[in-house]
Chains A and B, each alone.
Chain A
Amino acid sequence: MSDTVKTDPTGITIEIVYRGIFQKTLAQRICRSVVLAARKRGYTGTAFGRYGDSPERNGVPAKYFAVVAINDLELEASMAKYEPSVVDIAVAVDDTLVKGVESWAWYGRQPIWKPVHEGGAVLVTSDKTPEDVLAQTDTAERPYLLGVVPGLASFAGLWVFKDDHTDYRVLGALAKVVPQWVRIEDVKALIQEQTKDGSAVASAQDGYERTQLRQVKVGEGTPDHEVLQFDKPGWTTMRPGVIVDARKPGERNPYYKKYGARTLRPVVNFDTCIKCTMCWLDCPDECFEVTPEGHYEVVYEACIGCGICAQVCPVKDCIVMVDELKFEDNDDKWQMWKTDHDAYNRWFEQKSGVSADPKKVAVASSRAENAAPGANPTTAGGED
């Protein structure tokens, strides 16, 4: 099988799947560069965000598109469209996105490869191996080419962009898998023009060379992710007057679970917890359940990984934020602590990398060491 993607001769469609707001600028830059690099060969193209994602929310998966066509006539098929229904390449610029994309209510949880045609590609930026990434990706229904672009997820904010060359590496990776549309020479020339920075150009070459490819066959991946799909009602059954039923007390919203918005999840050391209530009280997403003993258990079906609980917890390493890709399910964990205390503590230590032993704890402000590199700017002149 080929290490490049076969596409329609009239054009190519690429989608960037990204973490809303954190990677908005990154996604835009990649898509614009795809079109501008292809322009060097006389092609035309369009780049656009998916309007329904707007307004973007921190962490909620969103999509940006780049379409290249050989001429304006062929481009028309991709214009005035809400989103392309089929793409040649899906690029996930955060590897936790391979666990599924849930963008808004009724959307369901969709596999990262869903719009990718047979023989298309899924590129993922990650510091992990293709096997590790594949182990968290939904079972393939069509064969596709998996590419891992080396590097951590690049997160920034709306106003201060983190220029860590992720976009250049991704462009290099795209040049590797669709050289007929995105030539590495054109990519490097474009970057040189725009930045006059040799290291930026080198990063593109780096992405081109070091992206690891792996052919994925039908049936490979994990069947363990939740199936979350909906059939939408029509006008004859929708309640008149734009009305929906309220949530029942104790219920969580079944039409929008939102756990797909997290890149980290909190793990709790119930032994060192002092039951101060702050994690439960300060969670904007109501992700804690109060246990009969007064502990606060994380509901992983609801948690979006903001990290506030870890920050407000007054006990060092009682709540630790951990890379989401280390987990395979959304099961709540307090029961495990109750029924098999030692097994839970081993699980806690294995996931978090810190000891569960209360003797090693000091009551101090917890620094979330594993927190994703955030947007806290250093340009304003202070460490945070």
Chain B
Amino acid sequence: MAVEVREKQPSDVETEQLATGCEAIAEAIRLADVDVMAAYPIRPYDGVMQAAAKLIANGKMDVEYIVADGEHSQFEIVKHACAVGSRVFVGSSGVGWFYAMEAIAVTAGLRLPVVAICGNRALDDPGAFGCEHNDALAVRDLGWLLCWAETAQESLDFALTAWRVGEDKRVSLPVAIGLDGAFLTHSQQIVKIPTQSAVNSFLPKFDLGDRLLHPDNPITIAPQVDQDWLMEIRMQNDQAMRKALEVIAEAHADFKRLFGRGGENPYLDEYMTDDAEVVFIGQGTLSLPMKVAIRKLRKEGHKVGLVRLKWFRPFATADVVKSLSRFKAVGVIDRDYSFGSPFYGGVLYNEIRSAMYSVEKRPTIVGFIAALGGREIEQPMAREMFDKLTAAASGGLRSGDITHWIGVRN
């Protein structure tokens, strides 16, 4: 019996690439048929812009690629391109991200689904360009969705998810994806590049409906408002963010069905937690050295695990509480700082404690600030955190009212 062999088109075949987090995102931009992107140089995010430029120059994708005169302009350009119906992409790092803050704040206020990566970088001065999370965390109150990727694969997957969730009419909010500077933005890993047809099944066309800015749709977008109106508008944002939890879960299920990836839970990943007595929780690539440490500790007989939070906004309180309530103690690893906060803890520390406040049987929750400014988490540091966490576990709730800075020279 003759077998008909159909010649497969390149886009129909899932391929593999050795790609950095930034390059993986560039592939996502291609697959998503982004219409407009705006670039401006700052390390370490701008690898994505360099990769995208190559794809455009070589005819691999058709995107309006605008080099802006600064980050504020960058984010304004894509915001307005989005308002006329373009699917957009933008990004920045560190102080560049802060230079764009005005535009970032209002993009959420306007309910425009801009998708951005934040190549996490320390805010400098003091001058440094290593990984810290404070840049992306600055959007946490504004109405942006925010997630952190662990691998180059997850970066690509989150990018596709970002357009899917952000552009969903029930949400219509901008999405930021945190990519740890250097460790993820510049690290080459094996990445599966999905097929165009699978992506087309996952990602519908961007449709603003009657919010489209166009002469055929006479509207005024963002008239000035006063105290009689603003609270109602903020309420709408609040409702949209609540809806986002649901929409993320739908997208996660769909993604799993089409691509076979995504983990058990849309919002967090658990590692060796089944019988753990104590766990660590953190975001981004710090999970990798921590998993190495956990395997070592397990060999020694310790019952320890890791929870990696994927989505920071919206914060999946119910899922986080359900997960963490099972343990005696939780060590929160913040790759950020929040000077002067309660117990001088990092941002994630205080959010987790707030989420867990009303749980009857609460774990001891200890704060760790580690690996700032591009420093890596070395195994002795992980060990130190484990020892401190275990000690606190037997000390009752109040032994969590403390923040340990790990690996700092005196």
Contacts and interface: CB of A to CB of B under 8 A. Distances in A.
B221 A242 contact: yes
How many of chain A's residues touch chain B, expressed as a range? 10 to 19
A233 to B, nearest CB: 8
Interface string B198-219: 0000000000001100000011
A241 B172 contact: yes
Contact of A243 (B211, B228, B232, B240): B211
A232 to B, nearest CB: 6
B236 A235 contact: yes
Contact of B221 (A106, A241, A247, A248): A241
B218 A241 contact: no
Contact of A246 (B220, B229, B232, B236): B220
Contacts of B220: 243-246
B110 A242 contact: yes
A234 B235 CA distance: 10
Interface in A217-236: 232, 234-235
A112 B394 CA distance: 71
A179 interface: no
B110 A241 contact: yes
Given A82-B227, A232-B228, A242 B111 contact: yes
B109 interface: yes
A104 interface: yes
Interface residues of B, number: 24
Interface string A25-49: 0000000000000000000000000
B2 interface: no
Interface in B224-280: 225-229, 232-233, 235-236, 239-240
Nearest to B238: A235
A381 interface: no
B10 interface: no
A239 B219 CA distance: 11
B232 to A, nearest CB: 4
Interface string A99-112: 00000101000000
Given A82-B227, A106-B228, A232-B228, A244 B236 contact: no
Contact of B111 (A52, A104, A240, A247): A240
A238 interface: yes
Given A52-B226, A82-B227, A106-B228, A245 B219 contact: yes
B222 interface: yes
B223 interface: yes
Contacts of A245: 218-220
Contacts of A246: 218-220
A52 B220 CA distance: 21
Nearest to A107: B228
Instruction: Say whether chain A's binding surface is mostly helix, strand, loop, or mixed.
Output: loop
A104 B229 CA distance: 13
Contact of A241 (B211, B235, B239): B211
Contacts of B111: 240-242
B233 A242 contact: yes
Nearest to A105: B223
Interface in B99-145: 109-112
B228 A238 contact: no
B23 to A, nearest CB: 34
Contacts of A82: 227
A238 B223 contact: no
Given A232-B228, A244-B223, A238 B233 contact: yes
Contacts of B109: 242
A238 B211 contact: no
B236 A240 contact: yes
A242 B222 contact: yes
Contacts of B227: 52, 82
A235 B219 CA distance: 18
Contacts of A232: 228-229
A238 B232 contact: yes
A106 B229 CA distance: 11
Nearest to A246: B218
Contacts of A104: 226
A201 B142 CA distance: 56
Contacts of B228: 106, 232
A244 B220 CA distance: 5
B347 to A, nearest CB: 29
A239 B229 CA distance: 12
Contacts of B222: 242-243
A321 to B, nearest CB: 31
B28 to A, nearest CB: 25
Contact of B232 (A235, A244, A247): A235
Contacts of B219: 243-246
A244 to B, nearest CB: 5
Contact of A240 (B172, B223, B225): B172
A104 B226 CA distance: 10
Nearest to A249: B218
B185 to A, nearest CB: 32
A200 to B, nearest CB: 38
Contacts of A240: 111, 172, 211, 236, 240
A240 B233 CA distance: 8
A232 B220 CA distance: 18
Contact of A235 (B172, B225, B226, B233): B233
A244 B229 CA distance: 12
A146 to B, nearest CB: 31
Contacts of A235: 232-233, 235-236, 239
A243 B239 CA distance: 17
Contacts of A248: 218
A210 B293 CA distance: 91
A242 B223 contact: yes
B225 A242 contact: yes
B221 A238 contact: no
Contacts of B225: 242
Interface in A231-277: 232, 234-235, 238-248
A242 B227 CA distance: 14
Contacts of A234: 232
A227 B182 CA distance: 66
A242 B221 CA distance: 6
A239 B232 CA distance: 11
B175 to A, nearest CB: 16
Contacts of A247: 218
Contacts of A243: 211, 219-222
Interface in B165-216: 172, 210-211
A247 B220 CA distance: 9
Contacts of A52: 226-227
Given A52-B227, A243-B222, 19 more contacts: A234-B232, A235-B235, A235-B236, A235-B239, A238-B232, A238-B233, A238-B236, A239-B210, A240-B111, A240-B240, A241-B211, A242-B110, A242-B111, A242-B222, A242-B225, A243-B211, A243-B219, A243-B221, A244-B219
User: Closest 6 CB pairs between A and B?
Assistant: A246-B218, A235-B232, A235-B235, A241-B111, A242-B222, A241-B211
Interface of A: 52, 82, 104, 106, 232, 234-235, 238-248
6 contacts: A240-B240, A241-B221, A242-B109, A243-B222, A244-B219, A246-B218
